[in-house]
């Protein structure tokens, strides 16, 4: 059985105070959320420790947005896997397109981060996806298969989540047609030796689309940016159907 994982990615939004205010409201909406759904919030590093303490006993799992591959060292600005697990972080986003585009993340560094995260006991959410130009020139499958081939060697598929995030759909309001997202996620699954890896869709997921997205047979959850910043919106997404 594949796990359903609904994850919010706050990116570089919300101070500790904002995060606490969000939770006060959001937690009230989880009373009737069906048991089987894993709810993850990937929040800025500055809020992880405080929010981790306040989430004790709640069903929300905490996620970081990046992790380094070394256990410690002279790597200014980076965060080691053990620093995250020590404060109760369970998940980490790896290879988000914004990291690839603005911070020089490559398939090779993605691979190192995935392996190190798993070694420390974190469950990484690996992001893959094509640009608009790549889609228009019919390269979607080729790009994604290459990201998987280079990103996954040595990675334990039993401790992995994958998010299919077409780059042209991120933050644009331009959601990928759900049937097409379902199809590409099927292609991703066909590349994996373990059929139980949860595969999410990400890219302008909004409350009004969630029921249709989650009705797709290949889609095991969503990775949500903008709509995860608003308690009512993310609550509607988590409480789909
Ligand atoms: P979005 O972001 O929902 O704001 O498009 C998704 C993501 O970047 O993970």
Q: What's the number of domains the chain is made of?
A: 1
165 has catalytic annotation = yes
Q: What's the CA gap between 42 and 94, in Å, rounded?
A: 11
Q: For a pLDDT cut of 90, what percent of the chain falls above it?
A: 96
- Res 174: pLDDT: 82
Main-chain dihedrals φ then ψ at residue 30, nearest 5 degrees:
-95, 0
Q: What's the CA gap between 154 and 240, in Å, rounded?
A: 35
Q: Quick one: tokens of 66?
A: 């990046």
- For residue 226, what pLDDT band results from cuts at 50, 70 and 90? very high
96 has catalytic annotation = yes
Active-site pick, 68, 96, 98, 105: 96
Domain harbouring 200, CATH code: 3.20.20.70
Ligand 1 atom 6: residue of nearest CA: 225
Find out whether the beta carbon of 203 lies less than 6 Å from any atom of ligand 1. yes
Find out whether the beta carbon of 82 lies less than 6 Å from any atom of ligand 1. no
Find out whether the beta carbon of 204 lies less than 6 Å from any atom of ligand 1. yes
Main-chain dihedrals φ then ψ at residue 6, nearest 5 degrees:
-105, 115
Ligand 1 atom 1: residue of nearest CA: 225
SS3 200: strand
Atom of ligand 1 nearest to the CA of 9: 9
Region 122-136: what's the mean pLDDT?
Answer: 97
Q: Which residue has the tokens 């009230």?
A: 28
- Res 35: pLDDT: 92
Ligand 1 atom 9: residue of nearest CA: 225
Question: Please, what is the average pLDDT of the chain?
Answer: 97
List, for residues 176-224, the tens digit of each pLDDT value: 999 999 999 999 999 999 999 999 999 999 999 999 999 999 999 999 9
Q: Beta strands 60-64 and 37-42: pairing type?
A: parallel
Q: Which alpha helices (DSSP H) does 103-190 contain, by range?
A: 107-119, 132-136, 140-151, 178-190
- For residue 86, what pLDDT band results from cuts at 50, 70 and 90? very high
Identify the domain containing residue 53 by its residue range: 4-238
């Amino acid at each position: 059985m594949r796990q359903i994982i609904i994850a919010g990615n706050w990116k570089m939004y919300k101070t500790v105070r904002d995060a606490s205010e969000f939770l006060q409201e959001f937690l009230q909406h989880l009373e009737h959320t069906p048991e089987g759904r894993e709810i993850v919030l990937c929040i800025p590093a500055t809020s992880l420790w405080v929010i981790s303490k306040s989430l004790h006993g709640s069903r929300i799992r905490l996620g970081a947005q990046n992790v380094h591959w070394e256990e410690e060292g002279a790597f200014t600005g980076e965060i080691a896997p053990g620093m995250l697990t020590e404060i109760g972080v369970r998940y980490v986003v790896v290879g988000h397109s914004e990291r690839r585009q603005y911070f020089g993340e490559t398939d090779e560094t993605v691979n190192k981060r995935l392996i190190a995260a798993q070694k420390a006991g974190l469950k990484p959410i690996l992001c893959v996806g094509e640009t608009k130009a790549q889609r228009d020139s019919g390269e979607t499958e080729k790009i994604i298969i290459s990201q998987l081939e280079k990103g996954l060697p040595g990675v334990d598929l039993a401790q992995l989540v994958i998010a299919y995030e077409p780059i042209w759909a991120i933050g644009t309001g331009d959601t990928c047609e759900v049937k097409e997202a379902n199809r590409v996620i099927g292609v991703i699954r066909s590349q994996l030796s373990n059929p139980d890896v949860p595969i999410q869709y990400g890219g302008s997921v909004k409350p009004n689309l969630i029921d249709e997205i989650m009705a797709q047979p290949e889609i095991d959850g969503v990775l949500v940016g903008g709509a995860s910043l608003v308690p009512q919106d993310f609550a509607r997404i988590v409480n789909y159907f």
